[in-house]
Structure 1
Amino acid sequence: MFEEIGYSSLGSQELRDYMAGEAESEYALVDVRQPQEYLAGHIPGARNMPLPEFGARLGELDPNARTVLYCQSGGRSRVAATMAVESEHFAAGLLNLDQGMNGWDGVAVDQAPRLQVFHGMTDPRQVLLKALELEKAALLLYNYVAKKADKEPVVKLMQDLAGMETAHAKLVYKELAKLGGQELAPFDDLFASLTGDVLEGGRTIAELKPWVQEALQGGGMEAAELALEIEYTAYDLYRAMAHENSDKASGEVFLTLAGQEKNHGRMILDRLDDLMEPTE
């Protein structure tokens, strides 16, 4: 990391370490490229604030959360960082990703977060029930791949992820129970009643069919790519919903869910070496 005038620049590995170690509420990740560039591939959890609009939209960012800026090569984000410094809006500091997406060697997701999954939901109870539905879909998918796969590393990864989805669903259920109000069915009964038609991140199982086929026909890396697509798309959606939601309680729920999805993604990344098939 090196200091600029009023902000610091950091490399790809430094940013990945920073994001892994920070609570979701402690930072905002902002992509200042044009919308079509953002849709083609962006860092999970980033919100799009194109540079031509950036100055007028500074007020959308929390001054008490550190803001991380990036673009394609680092030039536009440095301009945005300078604008942000001059605004004197940011009390928590500014970071710039040196070399931008050109230097980013972490996971990227395409398309915009599918906010319509939670359309019209401002009640934390509604949010958590929908989150349970998404967890159920991911569990069903991972169980399906584990059952159909014939390679042990793929089976093991999918079984582990299925277990994590169940554990995550139970955490969501606990948050739901804390809200009180309407009586809740026991977890097993409620979870069994959910259809799980839409996955975490807003994709349908049908949309992921090509990824599933690759995971079944390939080896561990193909399975890992399927799982990373699911987990980081979910992370991207939950971060976006936290920004979009005006209800503080719901926003905090989304950030909690985002943090849990990020942990799932890191578990997959940590196991990539084990999933590599030996070469002759």
Structure 2
Amino acid sequence: MAITDYFRKIASRSADDVRKIIDTMDPDEFSLVDVRQPDEYKQGHLPGAKLIPLGELPDRLEELDPNKPTLVYCAAGVRSRAGASILTRAGFAAAYSMEGGIRAWNGLVVEELPATGMAWFLSAQSAEELIGLAWLLEDGMRSFYLEIAKGLDRSEEAQLFMELAGAELHHKNALQKLYQHQSGKDPGVNSPADVLSNKPKEKYLEGGVLLSEAFSWAGKKDAGEILEFAMSLEVGSYDRYLSLREYFKDESSREVFGLLAAEEKAHLKRLTRLFEKSMSDTGSN
């Protein structure tokens, strides 16, 4: 099984499609969600859009009707795909990410993003495989954060990414111990990911994003755009650990995944604060 088989495609709609929906459908027939930050929303938003910042979405699902088609948008389509992923896992009948975000809505050309638009999902795999996949993604995330920190020099953003890289190492260690607990085997010098039947040769991030493609994309972006991308990765990790917490029935595993989810949520909050600060700094220049 290839690593991308552990993910499913997130549905999307073009800005023109969303415009037609807004123009032709009754507002009560669908939900329109803006997952950007409040300051971004104040600068301009789609008519009738409800503001729920990405970092708050998992805790505010009850504000939305899961039976209605739900359109999610952000600035350029990065955060909205993560948001649509959360809604899909939560059982929403139809959740869509608006391609290109509000930039595409305004007629601007949006560069292709590195993410594949895929969401984590649980298939009938063994507990060991699921832990191995989680370990593999943590390894990719750590590599991404370390490299990004080097490229940002000694900035506040670089410091945060270094700290996140350290946290991902902690997560890898926690998953390795959990693998040993579940399987009764000590992976030793090998990683829990070795249990995967078709372990990839390249490293991956959340959503099945190739690490090499993420590096290539980030090399052309500023700190604010990289922070936004990291936010989408962290909310994906948070969602993944919530899924695993539901999947595993033994209390010790549920506790581990609950703690990991809480840490990913804390990472998301830190990234969000720094992202807001970068927006403020940009606006004052």
Normalised by the shorter chain, which TM-score bucket?
A: 0.5 to 0.7
Q: Shift in Å at residue 136 of structure 1?
A: 0.5
- Cα distance 1:43–1:119, how it changes in 2: closer, same or farther (>3 A)? closer
Partner in structure 2 of residue 121 of structure 1: 125
Matches of 2:215 and 2:162 in 1, distance apart?
19
Partner in structure 2 of residue 50 of structure 1: 93
Partner in structure 2 of residue 34 of structure 1: 69
Partner in structure 2 of residue 212 of structure 1: 218
What 5-or-longer segments of structure 1 have no aligned partner?
Answer: 1-9, 21-26, 52-69, 73-108
Aligned sequence identity (%): 20
Choose the corresponding residue for 1:159, options 133, 146, 162.
162
Q: Which amino acid aligns with 2:249?
A: K
Q: How does 1:224-243 map to 2 (within 5 A)?
A: 224-240=227-243
Q: Deviations over 1:80-133 (max 9, x none)?
A: xxxxxxxxxxxxxxxxxxxxxxxxxxxxx9945143xx654232x222222111
- Cα distance 1:50–1:159, how it changes in 2: closer, same or farther (>3 A)? same
**Alignment root-mean-square deviation, CA:** 4.5
Q: Deviations over 1:244-272 (max 9, x none)?
A: x4x53498365554333222212212333
Partner in structure 2 of residue 202 of structure 1: 208
Q: Which amino acid aligns with 2:137?
A: L
Q: How many residues align?
A: 199
- Cα distance 1:242–1:192, how it changes in 2: closer, same or farther (>3 A)? closer
Q: Which amino acid aligns with 1:178?
A: H
Matches of 2:237 and 2:213 in 1, distance apart?
15
Q: Shift in Å at residue 225 of structure 1?
A: 1.0
Q: Shift in Å at residue 192 of structure 1?
A: 11
The answer as to whether partners of 1:133 and 1:198 remain within 8 angstroms in 2 is yes
- Cα distance 1:110–1:151, how it changes in 2: closer, same or farther (>3 A)? same
- Cα distance 1:113–1:248, how it changes in 2: closer, same or farther (>3 A)? same
Which piece of structure 1 moves more, 189-198 or 200-209?
Answer: 189-198
Partner in structure 1 of residue 102 of structure 2: none
- Cα distance 1:170–1:11, how it changes in 2: closer, same or farther (>3 A)? same
Matches of 2:147 and 2:172 in 1, distance apart?
18
What 5-or-longer segments of structure 2 have no aligned partner?
Answer: 1-49, 98-114
Q: With structure 1 as the length reference, what TM-score do the two structures score?
A: 0.53
Q: With structure 2 as the length reference, what TM-score do the two structures score?
A: 0.53
The answer as to whether partners of 1:142 and 1:158 remain within 8 angstroms in 2 is yes
The answer as to whether partners of 2:133 and 2:193 remain within 8 angstroms in 1 is no
Q: Shift in Å at residue 157 of structure 1?
A: 2.3
SS in 2 for 1:49: coil
Q: Which amino acid aligns with 2:204?
A: V
Q: Shift in Å at residue 134 of structure 1?
A: 0.8
Q: Shift in Å at residue 135 of structure 1?
A: 0.6
